[in-house]
Amino acid sequence: MKHIIQTEHAPLPIGPYSQAVKAGGMLYTSGQIAINPATQEYTPLEVEAETELVMQNMQAVLKAAGVDFSAVVKTSIFLADMGDFPKVNAVYARYFTGEFPARETVQVASLPKSCKVEISMIAVCS
């Protein structure tokens, strides 16, 4: 059985996908980029500000699923420029305490809307 997660407090999907799906005691999120959920618009920002908005969007999705960052077991970070890694990492780290999830960070050729960072997560849920 799967359950689709959707919240108005995060950007609405811009394609044929869900914000997140609960299945088998796990939560699988789609990647979030720095889209303002109030306007559904992407406005290019400094990478720290984009990362902050991405993490806020992800927090809204997790909350809609009934979990928080402590339930996250795996993250994937996609960067337009690996040179931004230290800045993204500093913002990202503020959202986790104690036991950090597993993670990979990769540079990609491009991201949706030419944004600087995209993050997806997998979490344990009940």
For residues 29-48, one letter each, b for 16 or more C-beta atoms within 10 angstroms of the residue's C-beta and e for the rest, the string is bbbbbbbebeeeebeeeebe
Per the structure, the count of domains in the chain is 1
Q: Would you state the pLDDT for residue 98?
A: 84
CATH code: domain of residue 79: 3.30.1330.40
Mean pLDDT score, 2-14: 95
Domain that holds residue 27: 2-124
Per DSSP, which regions of the chain are E strands?
A: 2-5, 20-23, 26-29, 35-36, 41-42, 72-79, 102-107, 117-124
pLDDT in tens, 53-62: 999 999 999 9
Q: Which two tokens stand for residue 55?
A: 């993490």
- Whether 94 has a pLDDT exceeding 90, the answer reads yes
Mean pLDDT score, 82-98: 96
Looking at every residue in the chain, the average pLDDT score rounds to 97
Q: Would you state the pLDDT for residue 126?
A: 75
CA distance 68 to 124: 10
